Amino acid sequence: MLSASSNRSDDVVDVDQNSQPNLPIQQSKNQSLSHRPPPLAEVEMATRSLSEDSPPTPSWFTPKRLLVIFCVINMLNYVDRGAIASNGVNGSQRTCDDKGICTSGSGIQGDFRLNNFQDGVLSSAFMVGLLVASPIFASLAKSHNPFRLIGVGLSVWTFATAGCGSSFDFWSIAICRMLVGVGEASFISLAAPFIDDNAPIPQKTAWLAMFYMCIPTGVALGYVYGGLVGSHLNWRYAFWGEAILMLPFAVLGFVIKPLQLKGFAPAESGKAQVVASVSEGSEASNLNDHVSEDISDQASERSIKSIGESRFLNQLSQFSQDTKVLLQEKVYVVNVLGYIAYNFVIGAYSYWGPKAGYNIYHMSNADMMFGGVTIVCGIVGTISGGFILDQMGATISNAFKLLSAATFLGAISCLTAFCLSSLYGFLALFTVGELLVFATQAPVNYVCLHSVKPSLRALSMAISTVSIHIFGDVPSSPLVGVLQDHVNNWRKTTLALTSIFFLAAGIWFVGIFLKSIDKFNEDGENQISVDSKANMKPLLEGNGDNL
């Protein structure tokens, strides 16, 4: 863990860099003056005073605790998705029989009298906020502390889930669901790079696997949580409970000393601001001897407005350039293309799987069977994939080998399972297939993080998330529905869907032969000088063995 003294020295060294955005203001005030540095005594007094007041580095915030906290937050995100889909929260429509006798509905559908289309909109409304906000948060990470951005996102999430519980009609809850996606976007884009920074080198993929294992676990807990709360209390309490559980983590994002992310320059420190203000005060006293205060204020306002517009345009231009760099990175593009094909199948499985199982094998409890198999395979398969890659040697080439082999073998198992007429034979082979395909979660995200330089990792995760949803699971469910309407045979439909796994395996197989360079240790463009590189180190570096 970096000591407080090293942080103080780094901040003082970076004063000139961090105060760069203020240069146009200073120039407008001092066009006729020669620049002279502020008195050294004033600078030392200002930095010493602020250093004495700064809180000590929290010794309890170790890498393992960072992983635990992020896993809990990730699980809460997916508990929310499971809860809104559960019968206890989602409920049922109001129904009437042939005699005109009606029974009141339950849950969200019953209270707001939603049809199936409106109910479907609610289940995916968060995706709108997630897809729009993910690239925005990834871009803001270059000019704002990423850890603070996670705090902002979790605060929005907490507010939005509480709003879901307080909603009064379809549009109010739909807007709140979109804001849930906005809140989740910052965490999805930035959490994985933080884990990758602070994980022990021999266990990087295993740590990522633990993080992504929380996805199926969270959805499963959400089903149970939503069912229990909805049946015993009211569906609104489920959302209020989620907000209460997330609130401490949202507060933590603001009160704790912010962590730095590798490849990103620290946001302007308080000490640099104080030093800059001392410098500005000293020069302003000389300026009063030459120009009037009114003219100075007007020039300052114009300069501030110009700086604001310039920063926005610079950020937009930087985002465009970074996106272009990502799209030119062949390893990253191949990885995401394979992930899109993979997610196309997984998304359709999660939506149509129970219905297909009911029609093919006449399962009376298809929801429980498919849900149970997916939960167990999601946990075991995801963790196993991470540990296997670490044992192989966590490299991009080995990750592609694991991705292609696991997906290919998983495709064969799932394809054979849907060809069998025996229910028990189907369940056995389908379980093996899902174990194999879920083993890809850690390796695919490892490639996303290590095929680009550190300053692009947040954007790479955001673009990957946007791509796999827009081109993967979002269109897959309706397209599979169209195919089923055409062939009217669920066995043929599932076989056609499962065969897309072979496409994903083939794309990832190509990645093995690409020239791959692990760029984890490359300098980001924000690492300007040798002195500033000290600030690029993760705050928790060196504490990997401490709990």
- Looking at residue 65, its pLDDT comes to 86
β-pairing, 102-103 vs 95-96, is antiparallel
Which stretch of DSSP H or E encloses residue 536? none
* Phi, psi values for residue 529, rounded to 5°: -130, 165
> Nearest-CA neighbor of 82 among 204, 299, 239?
239
Displacement of CA 9 from its chain's centroid (Å): 33
Domain annotation covers residue 132: yes
Domain count within the chain: 2
CA dist 22 and 27 (Å) reads 9
Tell whether 257 and 327 lie within a shared domain.
no
CA dist 59 and 1 (Å) reads 8
2, 537 contact by CB (below 8 A): yes
Tell whether 398 and 251 lie within a shared domain.
no
Domain annotation covers residue 420: yes
Which of 224, 240, 262 is a domain's end point? 262
Identify the three-state secondary structure at position 119: helix
Which stretch of DSSP H or E encloses residue 261? none
> Nearest-CA neighbor of 186 among 153, 146, 139, 151?
153
Domain annotation covers residue 110: yes
Tell whether 154 and 78 lie within a shared domain.
yes
Tell whether 224 and 336 lie within a shared domain.
no
- Looking at residue 60, its pLDDT comes to 60
- Looking at residue 40, its pLDDT comes to 45
DSSP state of 92: B
- Looking at residue 435, its pLDDT comes to 92
- Looking at residue 368, its pLDDT comes to 67
Tell whether 80 and 150 lie within a shared domain.
yes
Give the CA dihedral 26, 28, 33, 35, nearest 10 degrees: 20
Tell whether 234 and 353 lie within a shared domain.
no
Tell whether 148 and 233 lie within a shared domain.
yes
Q: CB atoms < 10 A from the CB of 321, how many?
A: 11
76, 91 contact by CB (below 8 A): no
190, 458 contact by CB (below 8 A): yes
> Nearest-CA neighbor of 381 among 420, 342, 335, 422?
342
What tokens were used for 271?
Answer: 């000490």
What tokens were used for 201?
Answer: 């080198």
Task: Tell me the H-state helices in 362-473.
Answer: 366-392, 396-419, 423-438, 441-450, 457-468
Domain annotation covers residue 295: no
Domain annotation covers residue 278: no
* Phi, psi values for residue 453, rounded to 5°: -70, 155
What tokens were used for 103?
Answer: 């029974």
Non-local CB neighbours of 6 within 8 Å, separated by 6+ positions: 534
Tell whether 474 and 331 lie within a shared domain.
yes
Can you give the pTM of this predicted structure? 0.69
211, 203 contact by CB (below 8 A): no
Q: Give ∠ CA 478-480-481 in degrees, rounded to 5.
A: 60
Beta-ladder partners of 95: 103
- Looking at residue 497, its pLDDT comes to 93
- Looking at residue 305, its pLDDT comes to 60
67, 199 contact by CB (below 8 A): yes
- Looking at residue 299, its pLDDT comes to 57
- Looking at residue 96, its pLDDT comes to 67
Tell whether 341 and 414 lie within a shared domain.
yes
Tell whether 257 and 328 lie within a shared domain.
no
The CATH number of the domain holding residue 452 is 1.20.1250.20
N- to C-terminal Cα separation, the chain: 13
Domain annotation covers residue 276: no
CA dist 246 and 340 (Å) reads 30
Which of 217, 238, 262 is a domain's end point? 262
Tell whether 205 and 69 lie within a shared domain.
yes
- Looking at residue 473, its pLDDT comes to 82
Domain annotation covers residue 49: no
Q: Give ∠ CA 325-315-251 in degrees, rounded to 5.
A: 105
Per-residue pLDDT of the chain (547 residues), as tens digits, is 344 444 444 444 444 444 444 444 444 444 444 444 444 444 445 444 444 444 444 446 688 888 899 999 999 998 898 888 777 887 777 776 666 666 777 888 888 888 777 777 787 788 888 888 888 888 888 778 888 889 999 999 999 999 999 998 889 999 999 999 998 888 888 888 888 888 888 888 888 888 888 887 888 788 788 888 888 888 999 999 999 999 999 998 888 777 777 766 555 444 434 433 444 444 444 444 444 455 555 555 666 666 656 666 776 777 788 888 888 999 999 999 999 999 999 888 877 777 787 788 887 666 567 667 777 888 899 899 999 999 998 899 999 999 999 999 999 999 999 999 888 898 899 999 999 999 999 999 999 989 998 888 888 888 898 899 889 888 887 888 888 888 889 899 999 999 999 999 999 999 999 988 888 777 544 443 333 333 344 445 444 444 4
- Looking at residue 527, its pLDDT comes to 43
Beta-ladder partners of 185: none
Which of 262, 287, 303 is a domain's end point? 262
Residue 492 belongs to domain spanning: 322-522
Tell whether 485 and 347 lie within a shared domain.
yes
Domain annotation covers residue 178: yes
CA dist 502 and 495 (Å) reads 12
